[in-house]
Structure formats: C-alpha cells, structure tokens
C-alpha cells in the first residue's frame, strides 16, 4: 500500500513511518514542512529506505499538494500534520488556524481532485484518514464517563478548536463530495523522539539536568496516556480496516494525574542517575495555571478495540520507564535542540 502521510517527521508521524516500513512493508510518501518539531533523525533507518520518499512541502500549498498526488498516486492518505501545542496556540492562534484548518481544507481539495481520477479497485480502496485529538471533546469532571465516538464536540482552546474545525471539514467532504473519510481521535501520546516541550520529555530533561520541574496549578489535571508505537499500530489498522464515515477513538486506559506523572519520572531518573543532591521531587515548582486548562481527558477505546482487533500493548509504567531511558541514552539529540531553539536555557512550562 502506498501511503501519502502528512507530518511524517513529527513525533507520531515518524512512529507511523517506522512501523509502516519495517513491519508492514508499505511505501510512504512523507509530506512535511519541517517545522521546529520535525526531525529526520526520528525516521531512524527508514529515513533512506527505498520505500520512503520525503517531500518538503507545506500542506497549505495547493499547487504542491496537487503535484504530489499526481506524481505519487497514493492508495490512501493519513493526515497527521498539525500544530499541536496548546500553550503555543494560546500565545499565537493564527498559525493553528492556518495549518490545522486551511491546511486540512487544502489537502482535502487536493485529495478530492485526485479521487475523482480514480476508478475500479483503486477508487474502492482509497481512504482519507484524518487523525485528530480527544481535546475536541472538551473537558471531563472526575466522575464523568470517558469520551467515546458519540461524545459531542466542545473544544476549549485555540488548538482544540482548530482541530475540531478540521474534523468537521473532513466529515463534510465525505457527505458532500463522497470522499471516503475516516476520523480517529486519540489521547496524549508519549514515547521516543517527542519534541521537548510536552510534559513527559520536558520533565524528564529538566530532571536529568536538575532544573526546576514546572507543574501547572496543583498538578491535578488528568490525562490518558498512550505509548506512541501502540498508536502507530492502531492508525495503520484504521487506514487499512476502517470503514469510511466511521470514527475510531484510540486510547490505552491509562489515566494519570500530571503530578503523579512528574513524581514517577523523578523516581525513575533518581534510580538511573542517583541522588547526590537529593531526590528530584525537590525540584517540583508549581506555576500559575494556563487559561482554560482542561481538567481531564480520557477515552473509552472499546469500540475501536473491537472493530480493529487492537489493544494498546504498553502499560504506562513500563512505557514511561522505556521513554525516560531513551532520553537518557539520546542526550546528543535533545541537547542539540536545546542549543538551537533555546540557547541552552531550560525549557518552559508544560502542556
């Protein structure tokens, strides 16, 4: 299967590329603008694999998207490219509307034009898989049931609003134009190669360096954590087995409070590096909460598990330990990012 994948040098996208090529044998046409969070290093050995083609292009560039479809004739589209950091969306929402809304519109139009040229078996198997987030559903109270495919949309941040808009566009292109669209929503991902602005890598690196560990509010916000390789497997199942018009909520049943995640990371780093200056929990610093900080996200993945014959393989503690160990073993990668993006200073607040 030839997959047209947007954002394939990002955190989740690169995990999809690695799995698709190594384990599934698919051909990947990787469209990536190579923004600050993209990394060709994250492709590992698939970077120069004959089944991988990297096109440096912006999904908002209509001519480039049409040319890529015409040149590479994909069987399916997996649309992952997005601006995704909530804090950045609060400070500068325009970029999120541009990439997540205008970019998705541009890609949908290019895909629709291409789809209209297909016939027979190629037309029957074509899919446009739009990958989204659980944040479009809003926030849960402690006793609320988890999100499902039937939860109404209620986005609370510029980021989640832009993703909700893109979800609606994707579904509208199916109902209006017949484009075979599938949508999936997922929980917070973590794992190897995640850009160090998100909670787990940020806290891990600051703990390694014994810098302050910023925690919003009292750290009571709860997130449902999914190991990125498990998500990559699920996404490939969605695009190959999913039914057009359906939504698949992908989660791992691993909810944790932010403060508990931070303390667990501290304990793992203490174990790995020792505590000559004292346990790293001493570095926890509570900072002013961000505007509109959603209290809790959690997905019930039952429907997707049944439909796709899939279930997350990693429990959170095992996955988190492996992730912290990866950052310990790959210091050169994140030190280069710090030096380039932050002048060597410690990173900012977490998500």
Q: Which residues are catalytic?
A: 134-135, 159
pLDDT, tens digit (0-9, with 9 covering 90-100), for 6-57: 999 999 999 999 999 999 899 999 999 999 999 999 999 999 999 999 999 9
User: What is the tally of helices (H) and strands (E) in the chain?
Assistant: 13, 12
Instruction: Give me the DSSP letters along 34-78.
Output: --TT--GGGGGGGGG-TTEEEEE--TT-HHHHHHHHHHH--SEEE
Res 342: pLDDT: 58
Q: Determine the distance from the C-alpha atom of residue 14 to the mean position of all C-alpha atoms in its chain, rounded to a whole number.
A: 10
Res 292: pLDDT: 78
HSE of 121, CA atoms in CB hemisphere, 13 A: 1
HSE of 207, CA atoms in CB hemisphere, 13 A: 31
Residues of the chain with pLDDT under 50: 344-351
Extents of the domains making up the chain: 2-191+226-254+292-314
HSE of 91, CA atoms in CB hemisphere, 13 A: 8
H/E stretch holding 239: helix 228-241
**3-state per-residue secondary structure call for 118-160:** CCHHHHHHCEEEEEEEHHHHCCCCCCCCCECCCCCCCCCCHHH
The pairing of strands 255-257 and 222-227 is antiparallel
The pair of three-digit structure tokens given for residue 231, joined into one six-digit string: 């998500």
Res 346: pLDDT: 40
Question: Looking at the domain covering 2-191+226-254+292-314, what would its CATH class be?
Answer: alpha beta
Full-model pTM: 0.95
Secondary structure letter of residue 296 according to DSSP: B
């Amino acid at each position: 299967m030839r997959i047209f994948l947007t954002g394939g040098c990002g955190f989740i996208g690169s995990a999809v590329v690695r799995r698709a090529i190594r384990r599934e044998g698919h051909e990947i046409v990787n469209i990536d603008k190579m923004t600050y969070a993209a990394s060709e290093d994250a492709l590992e050995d698939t970077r120069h694999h004959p089944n991988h083609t990297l096109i440096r292009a912006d999904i908002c560039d209509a001519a480039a998207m049409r040319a890529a479809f015409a040149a590479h004739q994909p069987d399916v589209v997996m649309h992952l490219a997005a601006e995704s950091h909530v804090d950045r969306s609060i400070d500068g929402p325009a970029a999120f509307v541009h990439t997540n809304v205008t970019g998705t519109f541009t890609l949908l139009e290019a895909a629709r034009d291409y789809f209209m040229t297909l016939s027979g078996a190629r037309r029957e198997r074509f899919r446009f898989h739009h990958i989204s987030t659980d944040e479009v559903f809003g926030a849960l109270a402690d006793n609320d049931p988890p999100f499902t495919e039937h939860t109404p949309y209620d986005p609370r941040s510029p980021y989640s609003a832009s993703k909700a808009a893109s979800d609606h566009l994707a579904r509208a292109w199916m109902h209006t134009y017949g484009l075979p669209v599938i949508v999936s929503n997922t929980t917070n991902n973590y794992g190897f190669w995640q850009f160090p602005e998100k909670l787990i890598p940020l806290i891990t690196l600051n703990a390694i360096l014994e810098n302050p560990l910023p925690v919003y509010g009292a750290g009571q916000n709860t997130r449902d954590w999914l190991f990125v390789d498990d998500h990559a497997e699920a996404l490939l199942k969605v695009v190959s087995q999913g039914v057009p018009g359906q939504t698949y909520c992908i989660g791992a049943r691993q909810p944790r409070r932010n403060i508990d995640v931070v303390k667990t990371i501290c304990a793992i780093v203490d174990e790995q590096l020792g505590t000559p200056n004292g346990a790293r929990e001493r570095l926890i610093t509570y900072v002013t909460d961000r505007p509109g900080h959603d209290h809790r996200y959690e997905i019930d993945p039952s429907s997707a598990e049944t439909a796709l014959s899939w279930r997350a393989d990693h429990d959170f503690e095992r996955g988190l330990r492996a992730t912290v160990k990866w950052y310990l073993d790959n210091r050169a990668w994140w030190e280069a990012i710090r030096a380039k993006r932050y002048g060597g200073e410690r990173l900012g607040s977490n998500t």
